[in-house]
Amino acid sequence: MKIHEYQAKELFRKYGVPVPNGGVAFNSEEAIKVSDSLGCFPVVVKAQIHAGGRGKGGGVKLAKSADEVKSTSKSILGMNLVTNQTGHEGRLVKKVLVEQGLNIKKELYLGIIPDRSTAKFVIMASEAGGMDIEEVSEKTPEKIIKIFIDPISGIYPYHCREAAYGLNLPAGSVKEFTGMLNSLYKLFVDYDCSLLEINPLVITAEDKVIALDAKITFDDNALFRHKDILEYRDIDEEDPLEVEASKFNLNYIKMDGNVGNMVNGAGLAMATMDIIKFAGAEPANFLDVGGGASAEMVENGFKIILGDKNVKGVFINIFGGILRCDVLAEGVVKAAKKTGIAVPVVIRMEGTNVEIGRKILSESGLNLITAIDLQDAVGKVAAIVNS
């Protein structure tokens, strides 16, 4: 789960990690109030959306007076912010973070992630702050310090010292930095984070270490033990169909194509999207109804897929195995009658009683086209949407 920068900074404050003074605002009057309370200029007005690259997209601006706070917050709030991470459709800005401007001497990068292959946490630090860290790691990997932490024994002071001296910090900043890194690690572990990133972490003219930016994502599987984090969820940042699907426990991701598809199992769902593309069509979505696919899941899946008006044909690919195909077919027919399908549906299913299942589908009187295998199915659905 993603959260906003201002929410991540709230967590930073809770853990004693220094952040600039500031506050969130939903309109320009509130922005001015926050700016007044800071009592200094310049201030920075930052768009709050769940995507990076905001500065380059025009979502971060400096304001040198109350009038400028008003005009910049007015221009950013309500803008459709397009960045390299939002896709071409962009994201509507509904809130801004207003913060004190800082006197910056140096910009650094600091991140923590779990490393999949070693099953350890890895702290990444670099003097090349403020830049795209992936680019740095690709072109100049020697500029990134990596420190691995065993999840059972946890962080030790030498880990923090290694990062501090590796970053060539001014002598006066080392102690502050090591304390801060220790707190960030604690926050990471306490909240089951899957990513914590500060880019840039700045050293000010006064040698203070401050988190100018803050990005945290959480392990969805661990949210059951962090009810307080769930309150940070911002449904405005999610696709409405995806929000609807999540209510039914369906894994749905909207895409740009016109072949709606419903599959049981994530791997097979991805492979089904790929095969649609190979057949010369474009998938409209990813939809995994779960390995055990029940008739009820299929019905809910239908509703979600048909909620996307771009869909010109639907491909259902269910590898039941243990699941009986006659039961599944009855579920599909019932769901199709209930939701009222206006587009052709191609169904490929496999499992026990597959012949009876196909018979139920073809005799249903509905626009349901059966297929014998993957190739057959995808050929049929591609022909429909491309005709």
Partner 1 sequence: MSIFVNKNTRLVVQGVTGKEGQFHTRQCVAYGTSVVAGVTPGKGGQKMDDVPVFDTVNEAVKKTEANCSMIFVPPPFAADAIMESADAGIELIVVITEGIPVMDMMKVKKYISGGKSRIIGPNCPGIITPGECKVGIMPGHIHKPGGPIGVVSRSGTLTYEVVHQLTQKGIGQTTCIGIGGDPVNGTSFIDCLDAFQKDEQTKGIVMVGEIGGTSEEEASEFILKNVTKPVIGFIAGLTAPPGRRMGHAGAIISGKSGTAQGKIDAMKKSGIHICENLGTLGEICVSVFKNA
Q: How far is the CB of 162 from partner 1 (least distance, A)?
A: 21
Containing 241, the helix (H) or strand (E) segment is helix 240-247
Q: How far is the CB of 209 from partner 1 (least distance, A)?
A: 26
- The reply on whether position 230 binds partner 1 by CB under 8 A is no
- First-to-last CA distance in the chain? 40
Nearer Cβ to partner 1, position 42 or 55? 55
Q: Is 242 a catalytic residue?
A: no
Q: What are phi and psi of 166, to 5 degrees?
A: -65, -30
Q: What is the CA radius of gyration of the chain?
A: 26
Closest CA to 318 of 341, 289, 345: 289
- The reply on whether position 57 binds partner 1 by CB under 8 A is no
Q: Is 156 a catalytic residue?
A: no
Which of 161, 277, 303, 359 is close enough to bind partner 1 by CB under 8 A? 277
Containing 306, the helix (H) or strand (E) segment is helix 295-306
Q: How far is the CB of 291 from partner 1 (least distance, A)?
A: 5
- The reply on whether position 247 binds partner 1 by CB under 8 A is no
Q: How far is the CB of 307 from partner 1 (least distance, A)?
A: 18
Q: Which residues, 6+ apart, have CB-to-CB distance to 144 below 8 Å?
A: 109, 124, 125, 126, 128, 133, 136, 137
Q: Which stretch in 26-34, 169-177, 258-266, 301-309 sits in contact with partner 1 by CB under 8 A?
A: 258-266
The one catalytic residue among 6, 109, 191, 252: 109
Q: Could you count the other beta carbons within 10 Å of the beta carbon of residue 176?
A: 17
Nearer Cβ to partner 1, position 25 or 128? 128
- The reply on whether position 291 binds partner 1 by CB under 8 A is yes
Beta partners for residue 126, in sequence order: 109, 144
Q: Are 186 and 159 in contact (CB under 8 A)?
A: no
Q: Are 178 and 160 in contact (CB under 8 A)?
A: yes
Distances from the Cα of 37 to the Cα of 25, 71, 151, angstroms: 13, 18, 42
Which of 100, 251, 294, 310 is close enough to bind partner 1 by CB under 8 A? 251
The one catalytic residue among 5, 99, 107, 197: 197
What mask of x and - would describe binding to partner 1 in positions 102 to 131, judged by CB under 8 A?
------------x-xx-xxx----------
Closest CA to 288 of 319, 308, 257, 263: 263
Which of 39, 40, 103, 134 is close enough to bind partner 1 by CB under 8 A? 134
Which of 5, 107, 162, 288 is close enough to bind partner 1 by CB under 8 A? 288
How many residues belong to the site for partner 1 (CB under 8 A)?
Answer: 55
Q: What is the largest CA-CA distance in the chain?
A: 80
Nearer Cβ to partner 1, position 225 or 309? 225
Q: What does the alpha-carbon distance between residue 365 and residue 316 come to, in Å, rounded to a whole number?
A: 18
- The reply on whether position 62 binds partner 1 by CB under 8 A is no
Torsion of CA 361, 363, 364, 369, to 10 degrees: 50
Nearer Cβ to partner 1, position 101 or 291? 291
Q: Could you count the other beta carbons within 10 Å of the beta carbon of residue 227?
A: 8
Q: Which residues bind partner 1 (CB under 8 A)?
A: 85, 114, 116-117, 119-121, 134, 138, 150-152, 189, 192, 194, 219-222, 224-225, 251, 253, 255, 263-278, 283, 286, 288, 291, 319-322, 350-352, 373-375, 378
**Enzyme catalytic residues:** 109, 197
